[in-house]
Amino acid sequence: MSQRKQGGAGMTATPEAWQRALTRFVTVIPHTRELGLEVVTVAPPEVLLRLPWHDDLLGDTARGLVHGGVLTMLLDTACGSSVLCALPVPEVCPTLDLRVDHYRPAVAGQPLWVRARSLRVTASMVFTEGMVWQEPEERPVARGIANFVRLGARNTPPGFAEALFAEEQPHV
């Protein structure tokens, strides 16, 4: 099992720790939390997410087709998640640009899956790619190429990495 040292977090992050951290990340974002986006697996710098089916994902109710904005959101979130686990220490990295190629319509009634990975990390940028599909995986519905700007430690809130990896506190 691979492990990554998180200098700022002061810990070694296993894929399981990354899964918990990225689950925390997607539950902080209101729309991904409300839609029930799930972090399935993390193998840095790659992530696999699943969006369960909801009728409100439809853009074309007459034909039962998923709205293109849902696919864009999935790609942006998955690629951004891959950025966090590709960096030496997690930092704030906003999306600079995102290109989405739509291959075929996503249809009603099936969950959406997205796999994304960071391809290259530089001092100022992170380059990523992602793929969205419904079963079977061999038939993708969309592909995304996204670039993220590294803001660095100076522009990342203090405790950002530690907050991602914080242990769950029992509810009282």
In DSSP notation, 19-66 reads HHHHHHHHHHSHHHHHHT-EEEEEETTEEEEEE---GGGEEETTTTEE
With b for 16 or more beta-carbon neighbours within 10 A and e for fewer, the 137-155 pattern comes to eeebbbbbbbbbebeeeee
* pLDDT higher than threshold 60 for residue 6: no
Q: What's the mean per-residue pLDDT of the chain?
A: 91
The predicted model gives 113-142 an average pLDDT of: 96
Q: What is the DSSP letter of 107?
A: B
User: Could you report the per-residue pLDDT of 8-37, keeping only the tens digit for each?
Assistant: 443 468 999 999 999 999 999 999 999 999
Give me the count of residues in the chain. 172
Say if residues 75 and 132 touch (Cβ distance below 8 Å): yes
Q: What is the pLDDT of residue 172?
A: 53
Q: What is the pLDDT of residue 136?
A: 85
Q: What is the pLDDT of residue 9?
A: 40
Say if residues 11 and 164 touch (Cβ distance below 8 Å): no
Q: What is the pLDDT of residue 167?
A: 76
% of the chain residues with pLDDT over 90: 84
Q: What is the pLDDT of residue 100?
A: 98
User: Could you report the per-residue pLDDT of 130-147, keeping only the tens digit for each?
Assistant: 999 999 888 999 999 999
Torsion angle, alpha carbons of 55, 60, 61, 65, to 10: -60
- Which among 164, 71, 83, 149 is positioned nearest to 116, based on CA atoms? 83
More confident residue, 11 or 68: 68
Which residues have CB under 8 Å from 140's CB, separation 6+?
103, 131, 132, 133
Task: Report the DSSP beta bridge partners of residue 43.
Answer: 46
